[in-house]
Amino acid sequence: MSIQQHILYLSAADSVRGFSNFRVEETSIATTTGSVQMFMVTAQRGGVGRPELMAEFPLELHAQIFCDLCDSYARHNPEDPTGQ
């Protein structure tokens, strides 16, 4: 049995505030024994600019669930314009 790592590049749930256009993208990571298929969750800060990496998952289903959760949280908890 192998352990599959889920990597989150967030320090807290509030980190997704201000992001939009969440999506899942498939990628391949080279290892010493070959390549590994991974699924990245990306989003745009303020809806513009280059997508930023939010998380990486070995399973597409897990990536899609995380993507949907982030999108829902960001929509229902918009960034405070005063920065608080």
| Proportion of the chain above pLDDT 70, given as a percent | 90
For the chain, domain boundaries:
7-76
* Confidence band for 50, pLDDT divided at 50, 70 and 90: very high
**Mean pLDDT of all residues belonging to the chain:** 89
Residue 3: pLDDT above 80?
A: no
* Confidence band for 29, pLDDT divided at 50, 70 and 90: confident
| Proportion of the chain above pLDDT 90, given as a percent | 62
More confident residue, 83 or 55: 55
43-49 long-range Cβ contacts below 8 angstroms, 24+ apart: 43/16, 43/19, 43/70, 43/74, 44/19, 44/20, 45/18, 45/19, 46/18, 46/19, 46/20, 47/20, 47/21
